[in-house]
Amino acid sequence: MNVLKFGGTSVGSATRIQNVAELITKRGKNIVVLSAMAGTTNTLVEISDYLYKKNVDGAKEVINQLETKYQGVINELFSTEEAKDEARREVKSIFNYIRSLSKDIFTLFEEKEILAQGELISTRLMNIYLHEKGVNSALLPALDFMRTDKNGEPDTHYIRQRLTALLDKHFDADLYITQGFICRNAYGEVDNLQRGGSDYTASLIGAAIGADEIEIWTDIDGMHNNDPRYVEGTSPVAELHFEEAAELAYFGAKILHPTCVLPAKLNNIPVRLLNTMQPEAKGTVIYNCAPNHAIKAVAAKDNITAIKIKSGRMLLAYGFLRKVFEIFETYQTSIDMITTSEVGVSVTIDNERNLHHILDDLKKFGTVTVDSDMAIICVVGDLEWHNCGFETKVLDALRDIPVRMISYGGSNYNISLLVRQADKIAALKALQSTVFTSAE
């Protein structure tokens, strides 16, 4: 059995829902995880914002607009009056529930409930649509099996047990539909796996049932070897190692949510990235593939700040780095890249919220300089240190671009370089022509 996850854009309109229905029906008895229709979760966040600000009227206006949108989807999606009536009833009861939560007293508890409604709607519409088409699909309520523990981590034992029981109960179904993103917490309250968390749901389900494969269906044909927004001639990477995917996901290759990688990797279940618009395309498969001594992909991350702390006190001293890192910990700011010399250390952060506090404290230890508006360029592949030549290639590509930091050796799969954000596109293009085009 496979797990197939479709993101918000893939179910973003009545026609898209119909396409996905056709695709999953052909694929047989699998578990299908759906996101909310594109834009819905953002709208639910907006509704919550109004409610936090005690503007109940504002919230109700947005609720009405969203409900009208769904009425339009229902009219377009279904052909029989029975299906339309059933869908209208379902959607009405969900919106009435959202309204019942829209009061002056609004807390995290109500917000989580509201955020969960997007996936509840999309899966119910899909299930009714499949029934209309004569498909015997079963809707597995994620709130009945997806749960986190007291540390906010997935309760894998519980998930496996409850999911297996649900599958047994619906053993005669043609296929299964469930909600991505939503879960319950250790106290049984409605919660979620963070924004973009549907990929994580798919991966957790895959791990729980020992799936053959986890398929993440989006609107691009796999993970590209460079950023198609800035670089021409990028192509999908056929195979990636889990470790390579983890590096890329973090550095802004938005296609796969970073958390998704771990459960699949630990359970050795391949994750395949596929395109709803082009279902025949091969996409990218992520698994524990054999190393192939190649650079696979390049990605970039913007809005990076580099901080350099130079101090004579660092020379031959121990404990200096700990003191520096503690300052970042105190201000809950995570460090991305690090480079060191005997007398100085440079780090990067992507969150400037507490920058002035951090700088104030760092100045107790040395001379501090800051470079803002920087970008990390991340080169990913089988870069084990015994493989010769790839560092030269990467640096050669960037020969005309000022490089502020270089970091290699943190993993066997990545070299990170820090450049000015203004040079990012030039760097990505240069890497494309030097690393990929000339190698082919």
Query: Which chain residues interact with Mg ion by CB under 5 A?
Result: 7, 196
Inter-residue contact 11 to 32 (CB < 8 Å): no
State the distance between the two ends of the chain, measured CA to CA, in whole angstroms: 37
> Which of Mg ion, ligand ASP, none binds 29 (CB below 5-8 Å, type-dependent)?
none
C-beta of residue 206 within 8 angstroms of C-beta of residue 269: yes
Partner whose footprint covers residue 181, from Mg ion, ligand ASP, none (CB < 5 to 8 Å by kind): ligand ASP
Q: Which of 80, 175, 184 is nearest to 123 (CA)?
A: 175
Residue 335 CB, nearest approach to Mg ion (Å) = 26
Nearer to ligand ASP, 257 or 272 (CB): 257
Can you tell me whether residue 130 is helix, strand or coil?
Answer: helix
Q: Which of 190, 355, 216 is nearest to 286 (CA)?
A: 216
| Binder of residue 236, out of ligand ASP, Mg ion, none (CB less than 5 to 8 A by kind) | none
CB of 399 to Mg ion, least distance (A): 37
31 or 358, CB closer to Mg ion?
Answer: 31
Are the beta carbons of 374 and 404 closer than 8 angstroms? yes
| CA 301/CA 248 separation, integer angstroms | 10
Give the residue among 91, 126, 94 at the shortest CA–CA distance from 113.
94
- Smallest gap from Cβ 199 to Mg ion, in A, equals 6
Pick between residue 41 and residue 178 the one whose CB is nearest to ligand ASP.
Answer: 41
**Which one, of 156, 13, 135, lies nearest residue 77 by Cα?**
13
Instruction: Please identify, using beta-carbon distances, which residue of 5 and 147 lies nearer to ligand ASP.
Output: 5
Q: For residues 118 and 381, which CB has a smaller minimum distance to ligand ASP in the complex?
A: 118
270's contact among ligand ASP, Mg ion, none, with CB below 5 to 8 A by partner kind, is none
What CA dihedral angle connects 376, 302, 305 and 296, to 10 degrees? -10
Q: Nearer to Mg ion by C-beta: 118 or 196?
A: 196
Q: Find which of ligand ASP, Mg ion, none residue 179 binds, CB within 5 to 8 Å per kind.
A: none
Q: Which is nearer to ligand ASP, 198 or 234 (CB)?
A: 198
Question: What would the two tokens of residue 347 be?
Answer: 């780090």
Binding partner at 180 among ligand ASP, Mg ion, none, C-beta below 5 to 8 Å by kind: ligand ASP
> Least Å distance between CB 261 and ligand ASP?
15
Q: Are 116 and 192 in contact (CB under 8 A)?
A: yes
Q: What would you report as the CA-atom Rg of the chain, rounded to the nearest whole angstrom?
A: 24
- Which of Mg ion, ligand ASP, none binds 375 (CB below 5-8 Å, type-dependent)? none
Beta-carbon contacts of 307 under 8 Å, excluding residues fewer than 6 positions away, are: 346, 347, 348, 349, 358, 359, 362, 368, 369, 370
Minimum Å gap between C-beta 195 and ligand ASP is: 4
In whole angstroms, the minimum distance from the beta carbon of 273 to ligand ASP comes to 14
In the bound state with Mg ion, the residue whose beta carbon lies nearer, of 273 and 327, is 273
C-alpha 149 chain-centroid distance: 21
384 phi and psi angles, rounded to 5 deg:
-55, 140
- Cβ at position 101, least distance to ligand ASP in Å: 18
- 3-class DSSP state of 236: strand
- Measured from the CB of residue 286, what is the shortest distance to Mg ion in angstroms? 15
Residues binding ligand ASP (CB under 6 A): 7-8, 35-36, 41, 118, 180-181, 195-198
